[in-house]
Structure 1
Amino acid sequence: MTATMTETRTPMAAPRTFPRPGLIRLTGIELRKMADTRAGFWLMIATALISVAIVVIQLFAADPPDQTFKNMFQSTLFPVGVLLPVLGILSVTSEWTQRTALTTFALTPRRERVALAKVFASVVLGVVALLPSLGFAAIGNAVAGGMDSAAGSWSFSGLLLAYALLFNVMNVLFGLAFGMLFMNSAVAIVLYFIVPTVWSVLTGMIESLRGTAEWLDLSVTSTPLFDDAALSGGEWARLAASVGLWIVLPGVLGLMRLLKREVS
């Protein structure tokens, strides 16, 4: 009598798949990464402290009629516009200097989605950065009104708030574009500060370039955003031209580089 051996095959388990993270979740992750680093944290602290210092200086140095909510708010936008773009730069360059790109692009292989999340995170950062400026200006204006009856005007228009929002977002995207283009923290930060400054100096010194500066110097074309009046069609056109040169062009070139660069 012989026994028959039967082979029992256990079905293989299906590979486990993970849901693709949504764009909102990716944007939240990118925002958290901006603040989680030591450089990002102290950069935001420094921006807030400089804004407070500017308000305090206005309380003691400005004439009472100039100590208004509008003037204090607009003055706090300058440190935000100068320093926050560095966060936009670091949000891209740190992926390569800290080697987090290995994890980022492994979890989200479609790099264009990561780039889009960084853009959305930069926009959110530009919006949120208005809140401390509004708060510091409000406190400073209340103190000014208590010190002198001629100070403390609360006159402020929604148009100025919209322009301030646009100003903040443009500057953060400016930094993000430079970060994607150069992908090196030191190089991108140095060029972000030097190149626009040199361009502004040259257009101010060379008379033949002044007409060009009216279209291609972002510091010139963004100046009307601080006026309490609607921009004309020509001013919007000049602003769009300078944004195209300093934000859109390096952003597109940087995106192409980001999509093709080998992760190592």
Structure 2
Amino acid sequence: MTALVRAEWTKLFTTRVWIGLLLGACVLVAGFVVLFTSFAGSTPGGAQGGGPPGGLPAVGTEQFEQLVLATGANVTVLFLILGIIGMTQEYRHRTATPTFLTTPRRGRVVIAKLAAYALVAVPFALVVLAVNYGVAAVAAGARGAVPALSGENLQVLANSGLALVIYTVIGVGLGALVRNQVGAIVGGLVYLFVVEAIVRQISAIADAYKWLPGGALEALTATLQGPDLLERWQGGLLLLGYGLVAALLGTLLAVRRDVV
């Protein structure tokens, strides 16, 4: 199993895909942090240090610090794509056949991919979180209030990092389910940005949102009051459950289906 995991890392790091995804995640996080900090306390409802719903809390408030340090969770989609590519590249480049001939027990291959990408997502997430805090420290520090790196703020960062790792695992599972790389990525994007948004906006089914991956993610990482959501720990468990289900289904289908 160790050899299979190392083989997956070799496949990943001999391409430039991981560089683009990691750099993209860092740039997006930095941009969001600067944007939030620039408008903090100046939007309607946010001028009085936290303010009522409808505005961003002012720099220096506890609410602002938690909001800006949860920015890393906004790039889960790129970690999802990382996991999808990790699985579907075998089918896209037609290397699945030699891979499965080398290791006939396909379940071991899929498990190795899940382990490899879950492990590699950890340092990637740490890099994103470091950029998140570093840019926040500079941007908020320029306005006289560097976010404290302790207590609740550390928990917010940890939850964001956990979400990134889980979405990577979900991506591997989704890639095993769909196999077509473009189809899996497009399907994942449509679900995240269209389907969940529709569910959230239609009052008749809005209550179901909190049980979806997006609702679980928001419960785990959200710092502002929003719709009816699960408790933070419940959101974390639910999101982890989605990751395990995706991994299990992907493994079972990879074992049973023919390689095309």
TM bucket normalised to smaller: 0.7 to 0.9
Q: Is the 8 A contact 2:25 2:128 kept in 1?
A: no
Deviation at 1:183, TM superposition (A): 0.3
**1:153 and 2:147 are equivalent in the alignment:** yes
Q: Is the 8 A contact 1:34 1:90 kept in 2?
A: no
Deviation at 1:227, TM superposition (A): 5.2
**Bigger Rg, which one:** 1
CA distance in 2, matches of 1:39, 1:141: 27
- Residue by residue, what CA displacement relative to the aligned partner does 1:157-179 show, whole Å, maximum 9, x if unpaired? 34334322321122111211110
Q: How does the TM-score come out when normalised to structure 1?
A: 0.75
- Residue by residue, what CA displacement relative to the aligned partner does 1:108-143 show, whole Å, maximum 9, x if unpaired? 222111111111122213311222223213432442
Match of 1:144 in 2: 139
Q: Is the 8 A contact 2:172 2:247 kept in 1?
A: yes
Q: Which runs of 5+ in 2 are unaligned?
A: 41-57, 224-228
Q: Provide closer, same or farther for how the CA distance between residues 111 and 226 of structure 1 changes in structure 2, counting only shifts above 3 A.
A: same
Match of 1:171 in 2: 167
CA distance in 2, matches of 1:38, 1:49: 17
Q: Is the 8 A contact 1:55 1:76 kept in 2?
A: no
Q: Provide closer, same or farther for how the CA distance between residues 188 and 73 of structure 1 changes in structure 2, counting only shifts above 3 A.
A: same
Match of 2:21 in 1: 43
**After alignment, is 68-77 or 27-36 more displaced?**
68-77
- Residue by residue, what CA displacement relative to the aligned partner does 1:65-94 show, whole Å, maximum 9, x if unpaired? 269764443213312x11111110011111
- Residue by residue, what CA displacement relative to the aligned partner does 1:193-252 show, whole Å, maximum 9, x if unpaired? 11243332332233221222222x211122222257xxx9966556545654x5444433
Aligned-pair Cα RMSD in Å = 3.0
CA distance in 1, matches of 2:168, 2:235: 19
Q: Is the 8 A contact 1:97 1:184 kept in 2?
A: yes
Aligned residue-pair number = 235
Match of 2:91 in 1: 96
CA distance in 2, matches of 1:61, 1:260: 52
Deviation at 1:101, TM superposition (A): 1.5
**1:27 and 2:22 are equivalent in the alignment:** no
Q: Is the 8 A contact 2:219 2:235 kept in 1?
A: no
Match of 2:116 in 1: 121
Q: Is the 8 A contact 2:177 2:249 kept in 1?
A: yes
Q: How does the TM-score come out when normalised to structure 2?
A: 0.76
**After alignment, is 181-190 or 25-34 more displaced?**
25-34
AA aligned to 2:70 is Q
Q: Is the 8 A contact 1:89 1:178 kept in 2?
A: yes
Q: Which runs of 5+ in 1 are unaligned?
A: 1-22
